[in-house]
Amino acid sequence: MLEIKNLNVEIQGNKILKGINLNMKAGEIHAIMGPNGSGKSTLAKTVAGHPDYIVTGGEIFLHSKDNTRSDLLALEPDQRAREGIFLGFQYPVEIPGVTNLSFLWEAATDVALYQKRKPKNKKDFIEYAKEKLHFLDMDENFLNRPVNVGFSGGEKKKNEILQMALLEPRVAFLDETDSGLDIDALKIVANGVNHLKNSNNTIVLITHYQRLLDYIRPDFIHVLYNGKIIRTGGHELALELEKRGYDWIVNENKQ
Amino acid sequence: MENRQNEYKYGFESKLESEDFPIGINEKIITLLSHKKNEPSWVLDFRLRAFAHWKTLKHPNWAKLKIPPITFDKICYYNTPKKTIFPGMNNGLIDQELLATFEKLGIPIEEQKRLSSVAVDAVFDSVSVATTHQKDLAEHGIIFCSISEAIQKYPDLVKKYMGKVVPYSDNFYAALNSAIFSDGSFVYIPPNTHCPIDLSSYFRINAKGSGQFERTLIIAEAGSFVNYLEGCTAPARDENQLHAAIVELIALDNAEIKYSTVQNWYAGDSEGRGGIYNFVTKRGNCLGINSKISWTQVEAGSAITWKYPSCNLIGDNSQGAFYSVAITNNHMQADTGTKMVHIGKNTKSTIISKGISAEESSNAYRGLVKIMPSAHNARNYSQCDSMLVGNKSSAHTYPYLDIKNKSATVEHEATTSKISEDQLFYLKSRGISTEKAISLIVNGFCKEVFKELPLEFSIEAVKLIEMKLENSVG
C-alpha cells in the first residue's frame, strides 16, 4: 500500500529524517515509536505533504490494487488526501466561523468526486455523520460548532477520528492521537480506530506510549531514533520498550 | 498572474453616443446643469451655496490613505447617453447598446423582465437611465424614481429632507457632490407600508474622464420598512476616476431601513494603475422613536475607498447598525468605518467590521461612537477584526469614543489574525483545494456580516472575495 524509500527530510536546514524505508500493506496496523525529537511527526507530516518539510531525497508511493502507484511527492497535500492519505493531527487546527459540518461535507465531497464516487447530498451526509458521531460517543451538536474552536483536547482528537471515519482513507497516520486523552476517551478513540480498520486500509499509529497499544494491536512496531528506523518487531517489542525504555536499542544500534 | 486583469469581468467599456459638458467645475457649469434639468431655483441656490463653501475647503488628509492630487478642473462632471432605455424617458429613443450593457452586467432593467423580485434604478454615468417596477410600487403608494424626477414631481419631500442628513458643509466631498450632483435614486415609503420587493440602485461609470456624482435619498415614513440594495462597477482603465456620492436615509417612528452595498468599482491593476476613487458620504437619521437603520457593506473594489456609513440615533430607542467587510488586494487602499451618534434615550448601536488585506494593500477601520449628554442608557457594541493575507499588507484600527453620558454601555473588541499556513494545511490535508480552503477560512471570518446580506448578495460577496484572494495565498 504505502512504500517509503530512503526518505530524507529537512526542516529549516536541519536534517530530521535520514533514510527511512518502510513498506506497509493493506490490512496492516503499524506503530511508529521513539523518543521525542526522533522524527515521528516529521514522517507523518511529510507523507501528508506539509510545505515546511523539505524532502531532500527518497520516494513515497501509494500503491493501488490494480497495480498502479502514485508518486506522492509529486502531489499537493489536497491531492494526496484525495488519493487516500489521512493525517490525524497531533494539534488539530482551529478554523473560526466554519462549522464542522460544512468543513466535513466540503472535504468528503471533494474526496468522493476525485475518487469517482457519488458524493452524498447534505441531508444524507448529516445522517451518515450522525451515525459516526454516535459511534464515537460524540454529541450531535459537534456538527454545528466551529472547527476545533473551544474543543477540549479529547474532543479535538475525537474530531480527528470522526474525520477519518467520514473520509475513509486508504492510509491513515494518527499522530499522537492518544496524547492528552483520559482513559475513557482513549478507549473510545481506540475502539473507533479498530472499527475503521479493514482489509483495504493501512493504519499507522505514532505514539511514544505503549498505553495505546493495549487497545489497538499493531502488526508491526518500528522504533524511530535520530531520523532512522533502528528496530522493527511485533507486539512483543512494545512490551519490551515499555519495560526497558529506548536506551537499550539505541545502545545496541551503536555497537 | 497573467489573467489577473481579466478577473474583473465588468471592466468593459460600452460605445454609445453621449452628450457631455465641458470639463471642469464653476458657477457656469453648475448653472448649466441646473437649467438642463429644469430645476427650481432653490435647487440651484443649494448647489451654488455648496460650491461656494467647497471652494473654501482643503482636501481632507486625515485618513490612512495616500491620495494622489486630484485635478478637479480636469474632470467632466456631466456625461449622459443621448438615447435612453425606455420610450417616454428623455427623448424616447432606445439605445440597444445601453440595454446590452445592463444585460451584460446582469442587471434586469427591461420591462419584460419585471418579474424579477428586485426593482432597479439604473444610473449610467451622470443620469438615471431606467427605473423598474414603478407602477407596481405606486399601487402601494411607494415612490421609486430618480432624484431628478423627484425634484420635479415631489419637490416638497425633497426640499424637506435633502441635505438635512448630510449638509453640504459636512465635508469636502459632500460639498462637491451637493454642488454638482447629476442624478441618483429617490425612495419614499408611505406610513405603515412594508415595501413588497427589494429596491436597488445600480451605478455604472462608463465614460472616460468623467466622474460620477449622484445622491440618493430614502424616506421611510412611520411604521414602514424597506430593504435597499446597491451595486456598482466601472470599466478597467489606467486613469483614475472619481466617484463622490451622498446617500441620505430618514427613518421615522418605528420605521426600518436596511441598506446593503456590494461595492465593486474597478480597483486598478496589479501594479496599482487606474481604479476608482470612491469618496462617499452615507448617513442615516433615525428620527423617530424605535426606528432602525442598518448599513451592510461589502467593499471589494475601488483603488481608494473613503467611506463611513453612519447613523444619527435621534429618536428614543432607535437602533443603528454597521456591518462591513472590506477586502483589499494589489495596491488598493481602504479607510472605512462608521459614526454612531447617540442622541435619544435608550439608543443602541452595533458595529461589526471585518477587514481583509492581501498583497501590498492597506486597510483601515475608522469608527466613532459618540454618546451625547441626552442619550441616557445608550449602548454600543463594536467588534473590529482584521485578517492579513501574506506579509506585505497592512491593517489598522482607529476606534474613537466620545462619551458624554455616564449611563452609557460601550463595548469594543478587536482582533488581528493571519490566514496561517497551519489552517491551510489542515484543510488541504482533508482533500480541500487551496482556493476552497481560503474561501472557507475567509467566509468563516466574515460570517457575521454575510448573514446580514440578502441571499443573492451574500453569494456574490463570497465569489468576489474568492476571486480577490485567488492568487494571494500559497
Q: Chain B interface, mutation test: which of A41, A78, A162, most B Cβ atoms within 10 Å?
A: A78
Q: Chain A interface, mutation test: which of B417, B432, B436, B438, most A Cβ atoms within 10 Å?
A: B432
Cβ atoms within 10 Å, residue A146: 18
Phi-psi region of B463 (alpha: psi -120 to 50; beta: other; left: phi over 0): alpha
By the CB < 8 Å criterion, does B447 face chain A?
Answer: yes
All residues of chain A having their beta carbon less than 8 Å from the beta carbon of residue B437 are 78
Kindly determine whether residue B441 and residue A98, on different chains, have CB atoms separated by under 8 Å.
Answer: yes
Whole-angstrom distance, CA of residue B51 vs CA of residue B176: 7
Q: How confident is the model at residue A10 (pLDDT cuts 50, 70, 90)?
A: very high
Contacts of A124 (CB under 8 A, 6+ apart): none
Q: Which of B216, B283, B219, B229 is nearest to B251 (CA)?
A: B219
pLDDT digits (tens, 9 = 90+) for A160-197: 999 998 888 999 999 988 887 888 888 888 888 888 88
> B435 to chain A nearest CA, in Å?
11
Whole-angstrom distance, CA of residue B43 vs CA of residue A125: 62
pLDDT digits (tens, 9 = 90+) for B127-136: 888 888 898 9
- The DSSP bridge partners found for residue B215 are B246
Q: Say what percent of chain B tops pLDDT 90.
A: 66
Among B426, B432, B445, beta carbon nearest to A96: B445
Whole-angstrom distance, CA of residue A92 vs CA of residue B394: 28
Whole-angstrom distance, CA of residue B158 vs CA of residue B306: 26
Whole-angstrom distance, CA of residue A72 vs CA of residue A62: 7
Q: Which of B119, B122, B188, B124 is nearest to B150 (CA)?
A: B188
Whole-angstrom distance, CA of residue B220 vs CA of residue B195: 10
Kindly determine whether residue B426 and residue A107, on different chains, have CB atoms separated by under 8 Å.
Answer: no
- For B434, which residue in chain A has the nearest alpha carbon? A78
Where is average pLDDT lowest: A237-246, B45-54, B146-155, B305-314? A237-246
By the CB < 8 Å criterion, does B400 face chain A?
Answer: no
pLDDT at B116 over 70: no
Cα B132 off chain centre by: 20
By the CB < 8 Å criterion, does B451 face chain A?
Answer: no
All residues of chain A having their beta carbon less than 8 Å from the beta carbon of residue B415 are none
Phi, psi of B430 (to 5 degrees): -105, 10
Helix (H, G, I), strand (E, B), or coil: what is residue A92? coil
Q: What is the DSSP letter of B183?
A: B
Whole-angstrom distance, CA of residue A165 vs CA of residue A157: 13
Contacts of B144 (CB under 8 A, 6+ apart): B119, B121, B131, B133, B134, B137, B185, B186, B187, B199
Contacts of B365 (CB under 8 A, 6+ apart): B324, B326, B336, B337, B353, B355, B384, B386, B396, B397, B398, B399
Whole-angstrom distance, CA of residue B71 vs CA of residue B253: 44
Helix (H, G, I), strand (E, B), or coil: what is residue B413? strand
pLDDT of residue A25: 93
All residues of chain A having their beta carbon less than 8 Å from the beta carbon of residue B442 are none
**How distant, in Å, are the alpha carbons of B117, B288, B410 from that of B220?**
20, 10, 28
Q: What ipTM is given for this predicted complex? A: 0.93
Report CA Rg, chain A. 18
Q: How confident is the model at residue B112 (pLDDT cuts 50, 70, 90)?
A: low
Whole-angstrom distance, CA of residue A76 vs CA of residue A56: 17
Residue type at position A129: A
Q: How confident is the model at residue B85 (pLDDT cuts 50, 70, 90)?
A: low
All residues of chain B having their beta carbon less than 8 Å from the beta carbon of residue A95 are 423, 426-427, 440-441, 444
Helix (H, G, I), strand (E, B), or coil: what is residue B51? helix
Whole-angstrom distance, CA of residue B347 vs CA of residue B341: 9
Average pLDDT over residues B47-67: 95
CA angle B104, B109, B114 (to 5 degrees): 125
By the CB < 8 Å criterion, does B436 face chain A?
Answer: yes
Helix (H, G, I), strand (E, B), or coil: what is residue B441? helix
> And the C-alpha cell for B168?
453640504
- The DSSP bridge partners found for residue B386 are B355, B416
Kindly determine whether residue B432 and residue A77, on different chains, have CB atoms separated by under 8 Å.
Answer: no
Q: Which of B161, B176, B141 is nearest to B49 (CA)?
A: B176
Instruction: Evaluate whether B403 touches B371 at the Cβ level (below 8 Å).
Output: yes
Contacts of B303 (CB under 8 A, 6+ apart): B240, B266, B267, B268, B272, B274, B275, B276, B277, B331, B332, B333
- The DSSP bridge partners found for residue B97 are none
Pairing of strands B362-371, B333-342: parallel
> And the C-alpha cell for A125?
451526509
By the CB < 8 Å criterion, does B434 face chain A?
Answer: yes
* Location of C-alpha cell 530512503: A6
H/E segment holding residue B116: none
pLDDT of residue B294: 97
User: Residues in chain A whose beta carbon is closer than 8 A to a beta carbon of chain B?
Assistant: 48-52, 76-78, 80-82, 85-87, 89, 92-98, 102-103, 106-107, 110-111, 114, 146, 163, 167
Whole-angstrom distance, CA of residue B247 vs CA of residue B309: 9
pLDDT of residue B92: 54
Contacts of B403 (CB under 8 A, 6+ apart): B369, B370, B371, B410
By the CB < 8 Å criterion, does B473 face chain A?
Answer: no
Kindly determine whether residue B436 and residue A77, on different chains, have CB atoms separated by under 8 Å.
Answer: no
Whole-angstrom distance, CA of residue A67 vs CA of residue A64: 5
pLDDT at B386 over 70: yes
pLDDT at A254 over 60: yes
Whole-angstrom distance, CA of residue A162 vs CA of residue A138: 9
pLDDT digits (tens, 9 = 90+) for B263-282: 999 999 989 999 999 999 99
Q: How confident is the model at residue B2 (pLDDT cuts 50, 70, 90)?
A: very low
Whole-angstrom distance, CA of residue A96 vs CA of residue B214: 39
Pairing of strands B275-286, B304-307: parallel
Q: Say what percent of chain B tops pLDDT 70.
A: 94
pLDDT of residue A182: 83
Whole-angstrom distance, CA of residue B371 vs CA of residue A48: 54
Q: How confident is the model at residue B19 (pLDDT cuts 50, 70, 90)?
A: confident
Cα A93 off chain centre by: 15
Kindly determine whether residue B446 and residue A97, on different chains, have CB atoms separated by under 8 Å.
Answer: yes
Q: How confident is the model at residue B4 (pLDDT cuts 50, 70, 90)?
A: very low
Among B425, B444, B448, beta carbon nearest to A98: B444
> And the C-alpha cell for B34?
441646473
Q: Which of B282, B291, B296 is nearest to B346 (CA)?
A: B291
> And the C-alpha cell for B55?
471652494
> And the C-alpha cell for B51?
460650491
